[in-house]
Structure 1
């Protein structure tokens, strides 16, 4: 299963702000935002959407996303959903599920899913995001970006508390394979030392965008 990692999306200072405010909540049952199928397998908490804390912390995460060239190159965002701040305590998990194609709350088609890890790896055990055959646990501040079409789960937390920021992206390019081609081209262009070759590849990339952007 294809996914990409954005290292240090959040700075230590941003993580400090998020953790301090998240400690105070308010936390509610995570099933309030789950789709019809996912409700049966979701067992976690989430910061109440619409609360003052939620708005403040969402602005912190969105600011980091807008500043991240890596995230924008991978996801090609047109629009993003509300940020969902999740919390898993010991015994909590999120069973196998697939994300809804459309979020009515945000009037958003879900092409890309993103999880930003907020807890230090040493502070909890379990709680891996399992996408396909890959079990992913990242350092605090790192993000995983993967197709929203993926079947995935969060494994049971066995020690400590796992916190994350989760959201969905409606991409300029809805097809997963086409986005991967564009990101690969972008990565190659960044490493090519030959100006003429770099220009030729950039032309290909931009022409593909003209064909594929919606």
Structure 2
């Protein structure tokens, strides 16, 4: 399941974030890739311990917590600190699958990457190439979204970033451990939640709302891993 969430940040907020990123010191992105992924990765990343990286990551996490569509799609149990990268001069990231398990810095704990997310911080007209291509059980999806928009997709998917041939592509990316690990079950939960919201909007007094809500939460109890 691939979900696009428009306007996670508005244009003024994106300009502020971009201004800060434009003045930052960047590092080789291959330092944070797995052994195989490092062979097909060419970009720059803001070091995780950089003060700006931590400040912007907290800002992204706070916004996600206020975004019902993200919560419905990801059913987040934990979200790993968002990271920031830039692509230019034919920067790219070839076909790869994200690591299944990530350490949570400073905790000794680990997070399972059920859901991957990319927050676009450059508008499509600012760069050529740089499309995010996702291949999952539901087909191939290509995304090059407006700045401030987020795309959410299965962490188990094969995906790539096409070479950037003009301009600079800025993004934030992160992983979520979901209460529901299965992408098929998460899709059913998302569709059921959408149906409940639709019925509640069109027929707020309909008796089926309580029943559907009961089914939703009982499925969540059955399928969740806490």
The TM-score bracket by the shorter chain reads over 0.9
RMSD between aligned residues: 1.1
For the residue of structure 2 that corresponds to 1:67, the secondary structure is: coil
What is the aligned partner in structure 1 of residue 193 from structure 2?
186
What is the aligned partner in structure 2 of residue 61 from structure 1?
60
Deviates more, 1:6-15 or 1:52-61: 6-15
For the residue of structure 2 that corresponds to 1:59, the secondary structure is: helix
Paired with 1:152 and 1:171, the residues of 2 have a C-alpha distance of 20
What is the aligned partner in structure 1 of residue 126 from structure 2?
123
Q: CA deviation at 1:99?
A: 0.5
Query: Residues 101-133 of structure 1: CA distance to partner in whole angstroms, max 9, x if unpaired?
Result: 001245111100000000011111100000012
Aligned counterparts, 1:163-202, within 5 A: 163-192=170-199, 193-194=202-203, 195-202=206-213
Contact 1:92 1:157 in 2 (8 A): yes
Q: Return structure 1 stretches of 4+ with deviation > 3 angstroms.
A: none
* 1:158 correspondence with 2:165: yes
For the residue of structure 1 that corresponds to 2:207, the secondary structure is: helix
What is the aligned counterpart of 2:217 among 195, 206, 210? Answer: 206
For the residue of structure 2 that corresponds to 1:201, the secondary structure is: helix
Paired with 2:28 and 2:46, the residues of 1 have a C-alpha distance of 9
Q: CA deviation at 1:201?
A: 1.2
Query: Residues 107-166 of structure 1: CA distance to partner in whole angstroms, max 9, x if unpaired?
Result: 111100000000011111100000012221111111110000000000000110001000
Contact 1:14 1:60 in 2 (8 A): no
Paired with 1:34 and 1:173, the residues of 2 have a C-alpha distance of 26
Q: Which runs of 5+ in 2 are unaligned?
A: none
Q: Which runs of 5+ in 1 are unaligned?
A: none
For the residue of structure 2 that corresponds to 1:40, the secondary structure is: helix
What is the aligned partner in structure 2 of residue 23 from structure 1?
22
Number of equivalenced pairs? 213
Paired with 2:13 and 2:77, the residues of 1 have a C-alpha distance of 24
Paired with 1:206 and 1:104, the residues of 2 have a C-alpha distance of 30
Contact 1:5 1:143 in 2 (8 A): yes
| TM superposition score normalised by structure 1 | 0.96
| TM superposition score normalised by structure 2 | 0.91
Paired with 2:122 and 2:19, the residues of 1 have a C-alpha distance of 12
Query: Residues 23-81 of structure 1: CA distance to partner in whole angstroms, max 9, x if unpaired?
Result: 11110000111012101101000112111111111121111111101101100111111
* 1:108 correspondence with 2:111: yes
